[in-house]
Amino acid sequence: MSNVAIKPPSQGGIVNWMKENLFSNKLNTVISIICIYFIVKFLVGVVDWGILNAVFAADASACKAASDGACWGIISEKYRFIIFGTYPADEQLRPLIAMVWFVGLIVCSLHRSFWKLWLIPLWVASLIGLGVLMWGGVLGLSYVENTQWGGLPLTLMLSVVGTVAAFPLGILLALGRRSELPLIRVWCVAFIELVRGVPLISVLFMASVMFPLFLPEGVTIDKLLRAQIGIILFTSAYLAEVFRGGLQAVPKGQYEAAAAMGLTYWQTMRVVVMPQALRIVIPPTVNSFISMFKDTSLVLIIGLFDLLATAKVAITDPVWRAFYIEVYIFVAAIYFVFCYSMASYANNLETELRKGEQH
Amino acid sequence: MKSLKLIVGGTIAATAALSTFAMAGETVDSIKAKGYVQCGANTALAGFSAPTSEGKWEGLDIDLCHAVAAAILGDASKARFTPLTAAQRFTALQSKEVDLLARNTTWTLSRDTKVGLNFAGVNYYDGQGFMVAKASGITSATELDGATVCIEPGTTTELNLADYFRAQGMSFEPVVIENAVEAVQTFFSGRCDVYTTDASGLASYRQTAPNPDDFMVLPEIISKEPLGPAVRHGDEEFADIVRWTHIAMLEAEEKGITSANVDTFKKDSKDPGIQRLLGTTGDMGKALGVSDDWAYNIIKQVGNYGESFDRNVKAKLGLERGLNALWTDGGLMYPAPIR
C-alpha cells in the first residue's frame, strides 16, 4: 500500500497561485512588489482622474476649475456632433436608425443560420432603404446631401460597403493572378502590385485632387463616392493576396480529385477549393478588415467627416479646446468596441468551422 | 519614357486648360437654376468656418457665403457647404465641385494667376505672429535667435518663418507637429520656446492655456495674410457679385445700418447713398444681374460686416477689430462707392 503514488496535495486557490508565480523566491518577490505598487498607483490615478475628480456636466468653466480631473463634459456637449457630424440636428434620428439597422443587418448576416440565398435580396433592399433614409427627398423626408453626412454612420458605411464590395473583387483578383490565361494574369498582377505599391493616402489624394481634373468639363463625381471606390480598390488588392495564400495552401490533390470527378473550373473553385481556402485565411482576412476599418479615418485628409475627423473638429471649438484627451479616449473606445467585436467573431467562426476537423 | 512624358504633358495641358476656361455668367445661371450656392469652407477654424455642436456651420466666411445666397437668390439659407482641406480647395473650385471658395485663403499673386483663382476682395486681414512664455523674458521677435519653434507643416506659416529668420540673420530649430491643437499643447508643456501661426489663431489659442497670463503674443507681425473669397478665373459676373456683397456689408456698417434697423432705413432714409444701397432708387442690382433689393436682403438676413465680425471672430476668439476696423476707425476696410 505504501508504494501507491498519492496525488500531491491540492494547490488550488489564489493564495497558492500567487505563492507559486509571484513570490517563489526573493528576486521574484521584489519584482512583484514593485510591479504591484506601480499598477495600483496607476489605477488609483486613472480612477481619480477619470471618475472621482471628473466633471460630467457640459460646463467648460467647471472643467477648467477641476484641473486634476477629466472633463467628460466635452463629451456631453459634443457627442452628437462626434457621432453624427454635420447631419442636421432635427433629423438625427434618421442616421441613428440607419446605423442600428446597418449593424443589425451585419450581425444577422454573420450568423450561420442566416447564410441563405435570400440574404442577397435583403442586403440590396436594405442598402436602398438606407440610401432613402440618409438622403431623403422622398416620402416626406427632407433632402440631406451627402456632404453633410458624417461621424460613425459614415465610418461604418465606408468600411462595410468597402468590405462587401472588396471581398468578391479580391477573390476574382486572386483567381486571376493564378489564371493560366496570360492576359488576365498580367492584368491582375499589375493591378495588385500597383495598388499595394502606394499608400492609401495617395490613393485618396488621387481620387479627390487629381481625378476631378481629368473629367470632362462640367462632370463631377461625388467626393464620397470617389473615396469609397478608392477604399474598395485598395482593400481588394490586399485581400487578393490573402486569398492567394489560401488557394496555395489547399493541397494539389484536391484540385486533381475535383478534375478527376469531371468538375468544371468554376465548380471546382466554388465547391472544393474556395470553402477550404477561405477557412484557412480567416485570421488574415479579419486582420485586413480591422485595419481597413481604422484606415477609413484617413478620409479626414480629403475633408470627409468620419468619426475621427468629427472628433478633431469638435476640439477646435475654442471653449473646449483644452480637453482633447477625453475626446480621443471616447473615440478610441468606440473604435475598440467595433474592432474587438470583429476579432472575437472571427475567433468563434474559426472554432465553429473547425468542428469538422475534430476527431 | 516617351509614354511617361506624354502622360505628364497631358496632365499639365489638362490642368492648364481647366484653369483658364472662361465661363462668364455661367456660375450665376447655374446657381439660379439649382437654387443654392455651393461654398467651399474650412473643415474647422473657429470664428471663420466651423460646425457647432449641433452640426450647423458658423463663421465669418460662412456668413459671406450666406450673404451671396441672399444677394442672388434672396434667401440667405440657400447656401450649402463642402468642407475642404488646404490641399483640396483649388481643385474643388476648378472642377466646379464648389461655386465659391470662402475658406480663409491668402490672396497671393501666383494664386490669382497660375492657380486660376479670381479673388473678390479681402474679408479679413491677418498676419503671422509669435507667442512665448512670459517666464522666458523675451519681449521682441528679434531676440529669438536659436529658439525652438512649434509649427504645423505645409502652410505659408512655415515658409514665412524661414524667410523671417533668414532675413534677420538668426537661426531656429523647428518642431513640426501635424495638428494645430497638439502643436499648441506641446508649446504649453514647454517643449518649444515659441509657437507661431496667424495672429488671429495666437490670440484664441492663448485663451486655452492652463493659465493664459503665463504667455504673451510678441508685437511683431512678420507676414501679410489678406484672406478673401475666391471664384474661378474668368468668372467675372459671379466675382462681381461676391465682391459687391462684401462691399455692401461694409457700406452698411459705415452707414450704421444693421439687420435690426434696416427696415426703418429703407422706409425713412433720405440719404441718396442709402437709397441706392437698399434699392429704393436706382438700379444697382440690375447692373449686377440680381434683384434691386439685393443689399437689403443681405443686411436683413445676415447683417453688416461689424455684426458678422462680432458674433463670430470677436465672440469665438475674443479678437478686437484691429486692421479689420472700418477706415473711419483707423482700419483697412474701405468700401468702394455703390453708385
Q: Among A166, A88, A176, which Cα is nearest to A134's?
A: A88
The whole-angstrom separation of Cα A226 and Cα B57 is 24
Same domain, B59 and B204: no
A288, part of any domain: yes
Q: Among A320, A314, A328, A65, which Cα is nearest to B208's?
A: A320
Chain B hits for A87, CB-CB cut-off 8 Å, are 55
Among A89, A213, A321, whose Cβ lies nearest the Cβ of B208? A321
Domain span including residue B155: 128-223
Is B46 within 8 Å of A67 when comparing Cβ atoms? no
What are B208-240's pLDDT values in tens digits? 777 888 899 898 889 988 999 999 998 899 999
Same domain, B201 and B318: no
From B194, B223, B252, the end of a domain falls on: B223
Cβ atoms within 10 Å of A320's Cβ, excluding its own: 22
Exposure letters A120-151 (e unless 16+ CB within 10 A, then b) = eeeeeebbeebeebbbbeeeeeeebbbbbbbb
Same domain, B152 and B58: no
What are B37-65's pLDDT values in tens digits? 999 998 888 889 999 888 899 999 999 99
pLDDT over 70 for what percent of chain B? Answer: 93
Domain count, chain A: 1
Please list the residues that pair with B228 across neighbouring strands: B105
Q: Is-contact B49 B66, C-beta < 8 A?
A: no
Chain B hits for A312, CB-CB cut-off 8 Å, are 44, 179, 181
Task: Give the number of C-alpha atoms closer than 13 A to the C-alpha of residue B65, restricted to the C-beta side.
Answer: 31
Question: How close B207 comes to chain A (CA, Å)?
Answer: 8
Chain B hits for A303, CB-CB cut-off 8 Å, are 43, 82-85, 88
Exposure letters B121-141 (e unless 16+ CB within 10 A, then b) = bbbbbbbbbbbbbeeeebeeb
The CA–CA distances, whole Å, from A89 to A96, B56, B95, B228, B267 equal 12, 8, 30, 30, 37
Same domain, B241 and B114: yes
Helices (H), A89-222: 93-110, 119-135, 151-177, 182-196, 200-205, 211-214
Residue type, B230: A
Same domain, B201 and B290: no
Give the residue on B whose Cα is nearest the Cα of A302: B85
The whole-angstrom separation of Cα A357 and Cα A359 is 6
Is A223 at the interface with chain B, CB within 8 A?
yes
From B223, B252, B280, the end of a domain falls on: B223
The CA–CA distances, whole Å, from B140 to A263, B132, B145, B198, B219 equal 83, 10, 11, 17, 7
DSSP-assigned letters across all residues of B187-204: HHTTS-SEEEEEHHHHHH
Q: Among B83, B66, B63, which Cα is nearest to B74's?
A: B66
A120, part of any domain: no
Residue type, B184: V
Give the residue on A whose Cα is nearest the Cα of B46: A317
Tell me the average pLDDT of chain B.
87
Strands B124-126 and B147-151: unpaired
Question: How close B12 comes to chain A (CA, Å)?
Answer: 10
The CA–CA distances, whole Å, from B60 to A163, A222, A296, B155, B324 equal 40, 27, 31, 21, 12
Full pLDDT tens readout for chain A, 359 residues: 455 656 666 666 788 888 888 888 888 889 999 999 999 999 998 898 888 888 888 787 888 787 788 888 888 888 888 999 888 888 888 889 888 888 888 888 877 777 777 888 888 888 888 888 888 877 777 888 877 888 898 898 888 888 889 999 999 999 999 888 889 999 999 999 999 899 888 888 888 777 877 877 667 778 888 889 989 999 999 999 999 999 999 898 998 999 899 888 888 888 888 888 888 888 888 888 888 888 888 888 777 888 998 998 888 888 887 788 899 999 999 999 999 988 888 888 888 877 766 55
Confidence of residue B166 (pLDDT cuts 50, 70, 90): very high
Residue type, B206: R
Q: Which residue has the cell 455684426?
A: B307
Give the residue on A whose Cα is nearest the Cα of B40: A303
Question: How many interchain CB pairs under 8 A, A with B?
Answer: 110
DSSP-assigned letters across all residues of B48-116: TBEE-TTS-EESHHHHHHHHHHHHHHS-TT-EEEEEE-TTTHHHHHHTTS-SEEEEEEE--HHHHTTT-
Cβ atoms within 10 Å of B330's Cβ, excluding its own: 10
Using only C-alpha atoms, what is the Rg of chain A? 27
Same domain, B81 and B30: yes
Domain containing A349 — which CATH number?
1.10.3720.10
What are B61-84's pLDDT values in tens digits? 999 999 999 999 999 999 999 888
Residue type, B135: A
A345, part of any domain: yes
Is A146 at the interface with chain B, CB within 8 A?
no
A299, part of any domain: yes
Q: Is-contact A228 A162, C-beta < 8 A?
A: yes
Cβ contacts of B253 within 8 Å, gap of 6 or more? B304, B305, B306, B307, B326
Cβ atoms within 10 Å of B65's Cβ, excluding its own: 31
Confidence of residue B24 (pLDDT cuts 50, 70, 90): very low
B1, part of any domain: no
User: For an interface test with B, which of A321, A324, A326 has the most B Cβ atoms less than 10 Å from its Cβ?
Assistant: A321
ipTM of the complex: 0.77
Phi, psi values for residue A171, rounded to 5°: -60, -45
Same domain, B92 and B134: no
From B196, B223, B250, the end of a domain falls on: B223
A104, part of any domain: no
Chain B hits for A322, CB-CB cut-off 8 Å, are 185, 208, 210
What are A201-234's pLDDT values in tens digits? 888 888 877 787 787 766 777 888 888 998 999 9
Q: Is-contact B149 B175, C-beta < 8 A?
A: yes
Among B45, B53, B181, whose Cβ lies nearest the Cβ of A81? B53
Q: Is-contact A207 A302, C-beta < 8 A?
A: yes
**Grid coordinates given for A133:** 433614409
Same domain, B105 and B145: no
Q: How far is Cα of residue B42 from the mean position of the Cα atoms in its chain?
A: 10
Is A209 within 8 Å of B87 when comparing Cβ atoms? yes
Question: How close A89 comes to chain B (CA, Å)?
Answer: 6
Strands B79-84 and B37-42: parallel
Q: Is the dihedral of CA A104, A105, A110, A115 positive or negative?
A: positive
Cβ atoms within 10 Å of B62's Cβ, excluding its own: 24
Residue type, B198: D
**Grid coordinates given for A263:** 468538375
Number of residues in chain A: 359
What are B296-323's pLDDT values in tens digits? 999 999 999 999 999 999 888 888 888 9
Is B21 within 8 Å of A217 when comparing Cβ atoms? yes
Domain containing B217 — which CATH number?
3.40.190.10
Give the residue on A whose Cα is nearest the Cα of B180: A316
The conformation of residue B223, written as its DSSP 8-state character, comes to: -
Chain A hits for B51, CB-CB cut-off 8 Å, are 81, 85-86, 313
A164, part of any domain: yes
Q: Which residue has the cell 455668367?
A: B25
Phi, psi values for residue A325, rounded to 5°: -60, -45
B4, part of any domain: no
The whole-angstrom separation of Cα A205 and Cα A299 is 9
pLDDT of A11 reads 63
The whole-angstrom separation of Cα B227 and Cα B246 is 13
Same domain, B112 and B246: yes
